[in-house]
Amino acid sequence: MPLFKKCDNFTEAKEAQAVGLYPYFHELQSQQDVEVIMEGKRRIMLGSNNYLGLTVHEEVKQAAIEAVQQYGTGCSGSRFLNGTLNLHTQLEKKLAEFLRKEAVITFSTGFQSNLGIISAICGRNDYIISDKENHASIYDGCKLSYAKLLRFNHSDMADLERVLASIPKDAGKLIVTDGVFSMSGDICKLPEMVALKKKYNARLMVDDAHGLGVIGEGGRGTGSYFDLEDEVDIIMGTFSKSLASLGGYMAAKEVVVEYVRHTSRPFIFSASIPPASCAAAMKALEIIEAHPERVERLGQLSNYMKKALNNRNIKIIESPTPIIPIYTKDQLTTLTLAKVIYEAGVYVNPVLPPAAPANECLLRVSLMATHTEALIDESVDIIEAALKDAGLV
């Protein structure tokens, strides 16, 4: 088949656009806040990962501005060579202290973090044991590593043990899991994973992209939530969510960080985080440390919205996170509901294959600590009306 034939055959996007149900690439004309101007109209934002609302915090914005004034707009090189600023090393030190780990290495994006960590730590003779619902970047990191990838059913600890028991005893083994799963909002079964890690002499990596700033003491994430920080060998996370910026990181023992720092090709051969992004993430971290009540407020608002949805008989998955999935079943219904809700003034994320099974599509609602009860009430009214019209309530 000619190389570009697959491009000619790709018609799904145009077909959705033709019937007015294309849900992607809506344009913002305002800041990423609880209320936005999107395509010329006010919308309540219930589809952002800006969990603590810090993208519009004046101190965070000012830190980014001052960094540009001092360091310019970019680093023009890899951290390995000319691209390391004192901002990078300061951020790594502060983040290591916050996460109570020996050391941290930062990457230019969250996706790159998983690519860089997994491909450096694991090799052809190693085994990676991954939850089936892990993020796409974990899957791609596994491919880049050339290690043997074995999957276990989502949060099924009996299946995880079955897989671990099938691996040669002396082989290198890395269990990888999301801490907070980005679509369903549920939390991994970390205590059981730690027990299995010890039983089968494995290492454990937690992708805490949606856990930092959301759960745990002061927002320290999944390990802290279960009081098992010391048992998680590698913590991965991003700056693009609670830390209101762009980038990613790995926290681990210093010897592990130093190894990744000198062997990870995605790290070595990528330009470093721009000064503004680095300074914004550092200021956001300072605010989280100084104001843990933001994390508490996020939890309160999450409980408030879940109670409101339950009172309207709207089916959701219960969890202690601000990610609230509303199951809408098939793809057409989900696209239609997303459009109706959007036109009524609320933005939510439709989750379709491959991010969800074809018969388990959903609307992903996510909250910020800066939402108000009034905005939640308005949103729930709009969501309920749309679901009623679709016969789902």
| Distance from C-alpha of 202 to C-alpha of 179, rounded to nearest angstrom | 17
Tell me what pLDDT residue 108 has.
97
**Selection from 349, 10, 370 nearest residue 185 by Cα:** 349
Architecture of the 58-290 domain:
3-Layer(aba) Sandwich (3.40)
Residue 93, amino acid: K
CB 261 within 8 A of CB 103: no
Tell me what pLDDT residue 317 has.
83
Tell me what pLDDT residue 85 has.
97
C-alpha distance from residue 196 to each of 81, 189, 228 (Å): 40, 11, 14
Active site residue 210: yes
> For residue range 77-88, what is the model confidence (pLDDT) as tens digits?
999 999 999 999
Please pick, among 173, 210, 283, 371, the residue that the annotation labels catalytic: 210
Other CB atoms within 10 A of residue 333 CB: 16
- Show me where the domains of the chain are located: 5-56+292-389, 58-290
> For residue range 130-160, what is the model confidence (pLDDT) as tens digits?
999 999 999 999 999 999 999 999 999 999 9
**Selection from 221, 277, 254 nearest residue 98 by Cα:** 221
Tell me what pLDDT residue 221 has.
98
| Distance from C-alpha of 141 to C-alpha of 146, rounded to nearest angstrom | 9
Domain range 5-56+292-389, its CATH number among 3.40.1260.10, 1.10.357.10, 3.30.1330.60, 3.90.1150.10: 3.90.1150.10
The tens place of each residue's pLDDT in the chain, 393 residues long, gives 899 999 999 999 999 999 999 999 999 999 999 999 999 999 999 999 999 999 999 999 999 999 999 999 999 999 999 999 999 999 999 999 999 999 999 999 999 999 999 999 999 999 999 999 999 999 999 999 999 999 999 999 999 999 999 999 999 999 999 999 999 999 999 999 999 999 999 999 999 999 999 999 999 999 999 999 999 999 999 999 999 999 999 999 999 999 999 999 999 999 999 999 999 999 999 999 999 999 999 999 999 999 999 999 998 988 899 999 998 989 999 999 999 999 999 999 999 988 888 888 999 999 999 999 999 999 999 999 999 999 998
| Distance from C-alpha of 331 to C-alpha of 357, rounded to nearest angstrom | 10
| Distance from C-alpha of 236 to C-alpha of 251, rounded to nearest angstrom | 6
| Distance from C-alpha of 61 to C-alpha of 157, rounded to nearest angstrom | 43
| Distance from C-alpha of 120 to C-alpha of 130, rounded to nearest angstrom | 17
Tell me what pLDDT residue 1 has.
87
220 half-sphere exposure, CB direction, 13 A CA radius: 23
Question: Do 5-56+292-389 and 58-290 agree at the fold level?
Answer: no
Please pick, among 57, 135, 241, 306, the residue that the annotation labels catalytic: 241
Please pick, among 145, 182, 242, 366, the residue that the annotation labels catalytic: 182
Tell me what pLDDT residue 275 has.
98
* SS3 at position 205: strand
Active site residue 57: no
* SS3 at position 44: strand
Q: Which two tokens stand for residue 63?
A: 């830190």
Tell me what pLDDT residue 355 has.
80
| Distance from C-alpha of 66 to C-alpha of 127, rounded to nearest angstrom | 45
Tell me what pLDDT residue 274 has.
97
C-alpha distance from residue 125 to each of 180, 196, 211 (Å): 29, 21, 31
Task: Give the single-character DSSP code of 218.
Answer: G
Tell me what pLDDT residue 377 has.
98
CB 363 within 8 A of CB 348: yes
All residues at 6 or more sequence positions from 359 whose CB lies less than 8 Å from its CB, including other chains: 329, 330
Tell me what pLDDT residue 353 has.
87
C-alpha distance from residue 110 to each of 26, 81, 115 (Å): 22, 21, 9
